[in-house]
């Protein structure tokens, strides 16, 4: 079946929206059609910078554009539920920036509406679609490293100190877990599944009231374990390792992976390299297009049930810290 060209609308004009818009040019089945912002000035500036055909000074105007097939929601975490539901009510397919929501209760409501109305919905966990990560899944499925027993993944960076900035502001869902932690938690879920038997975690809560860094250990049946770290005030290696009974896999900068290496008996067996020109968002964009062309309402690579289980894990982790957002 020939794939249709999906006409995209972008809801929001921040940094992540800009990266997404640039990568739309690399997606074979996508077209930059419209952008919506809270002001006409912001939308127009964004449209001119990214060669977007139409600029709207409100989200509602974007949703009313009958030419738009799918919308990428690029607003801060606490607004995802409201924005996604508005898009779905307008009959649009939706790709929502990670994390899907701030808690599982919000996500359940979004999933329920999408499924009841047979509308496409997907979390923008772009890492899943990168060629090196696809290769990692192939290596594991073919038994290259035997039975997987341990997953290690870190993602952290030192953000500048600004108490009002999104990442340090609890009113905007700031903190390491939602922004950085979603990557290692989702990576562990991809490899080991969504049902750890036990979760142990600790976090440093900073002076603004958000988690600035954390460590998590998750244990699974048959002795499998995941050790995960995240931070927004300290730089980490940002690597992932998958250890099995017959070898291991190393993925440098795993969330934006451009390579992955397979090792056996301590020696390198194969390195897969991705020489893409795009940032990497084009692959998830193409996945949405493929799903829509096939009449699917969710992706098998990051299905809604898995996204929900991941959010429940993150809820449980925050509960261990006694951390609630002011709006919850």
Domain spanning 6-126: CATH superfamily: NAD(P)-binding Rossmann-like Domain (3.40.50.720)
Query: Checking phi first, is residue 51 left (phi over 0); if not, alpha (psi -120 to 50) or beta?
Result: left
Token digits of residue 148: 């997987």
| Per-residue confidence (pLDDT) for residue 140, from 0 to 100 | 98
Please state the pTM of the whole predicted model. Answer: 0.96
Cα torsion 34, 35, 39, 40: sign: negative
**Whole-Å CA distances, 203 to 109, 170, 214, 244, 320:** 28, 15, 4, 28, 9
Residues 6+ apart with CB under 8 A from 233: 158, 159, 206, 212, 213
Distances (CA, A) of 207 to 164, 172, 204, 282: 12, 15, 10, 38
Q: So what's the pLDDT on residue 195?
A: 93
**Domain extents in the chain:** 6-126, 131-273+310-321
Q: Peptide bond before 234: cis, by omega within 30 degrees of 0?
A: no
pLDDT along the chain (328 residues), means of 10: 88 97 97 97 98 97 98 97 98 97 97 98 98 98 98 97 93 96 98 97 97 98 96 97 98 98 96 96 98 97 98 98 95
Question: Does CATH number 3.20.20.70 belong to domain 131-273+310-321?
Answer: no
pLDDT of residue 215: 98
């Amino acid at each position: 079946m020939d794939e249709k060209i999906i006409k995209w609308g972008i809801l929001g004009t921040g940094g992540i929206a800009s990266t997404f818009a640039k990568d739309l040019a690399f997606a074979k089945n996508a077209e930059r059609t419209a952008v919506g912002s809270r002001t006409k000035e912001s939308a127009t500036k964004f449209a001119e910078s990214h060669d977007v055909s139409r600029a709207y000074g409100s989200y509602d105007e974007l949703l009313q554009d009958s030419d738009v097939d799918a919308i990428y929601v690029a607003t801060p975490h606490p607004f995802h539920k409201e924005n996604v539901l508005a898009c779905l009510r307008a009959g649009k397919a939706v790709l929502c920036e990670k994390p899907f929501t701030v808690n599982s209760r919000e996500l359940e409501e979004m999933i329920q509406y999408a499924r009841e109305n047979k509308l496409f919905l997907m979390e923008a966990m772009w890492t899943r679609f990168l060629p090196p990560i696809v290769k990692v899944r192939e290596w594991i499925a073919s038994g290259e490293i035997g039975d997987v027993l341990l997953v290690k993944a870190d993602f952290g960076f030192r953000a500048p100190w600004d108490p009002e900035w999104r990442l340090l502001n609890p009113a905007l869902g700031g903190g390491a877990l939602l922004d950085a932690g979603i990557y290692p938690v989702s990576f562990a879920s991809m490899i080991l599944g969504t049902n750890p038997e036990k979760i142990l975690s600790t976090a440093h809560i900073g002076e603004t009231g958000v988690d600035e860094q954390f460590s998590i250990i998750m244990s699974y049946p048959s002795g499998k374990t995941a050790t995960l770290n995240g931070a927004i005030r300290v730089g980490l290696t940002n690597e992932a390792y998958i250890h099995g009974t017959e070898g291991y896999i190393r993925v440098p900068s795993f969330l934006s992976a451009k390579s992955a290496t397979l090792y056996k008996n301590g020696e390198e067996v194969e390195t897969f390299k991705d020489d893409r020109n795009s940032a990497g968002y084009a692959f998830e964009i193409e996945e949405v297009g493929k799903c829509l062309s096939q009449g699917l309402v969710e992706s098998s690579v990051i299905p809604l049930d898995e996204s929900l289980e991941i959010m429940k894990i993150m809820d449980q982790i925050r509960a261990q810290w006694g951390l609630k957002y002011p709006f919850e």
